[in-house]
Amino acid sequence: MRELTRAEQAQATADSECDRQVGTARAFRTLGKGYGDRLARERAPQIRPYLQLVA
């Protein structure tokens, strides 16, 4: 794996700081969890037999 250039490091730091201030990653995690929970409920009839087989 190659080393990052100073410009790449600066950009990564700026991106991280922006995300921390705005909360983009936190918002995506929250939205994703809600979607995943809804999808699991909707697809439970299809998922349940698989989970029983795996167990």
Whole-structure pTM value:
0.49
| pLDDT at 9 > cutoff 90 | yes
The percent of residues above 70 in pLDDT, for the chain, comes to 100
Q: Residue 1: helix, strand or coil by DSSP? A: coil
User: How many beta carbons lie within 10 A of that of residue 47, not counting itself?
Assistant: 13
CA distance 13 to 47: 41
**Mean pLDDT value of segment 31-44:** 87
Task: Say whether 41 sits in a helix, a strand or coil.
Answer: helix
Supply the angle between the helices 24-42 and 6-22 in degrees, to the nearest 10.
60
Indicate the SS3 state at residue 32.
helix
pLDDT band at 25, cuts 50/70/90? confident
Report pLDDT digits (tens) over 13-24.
999 999 999 988
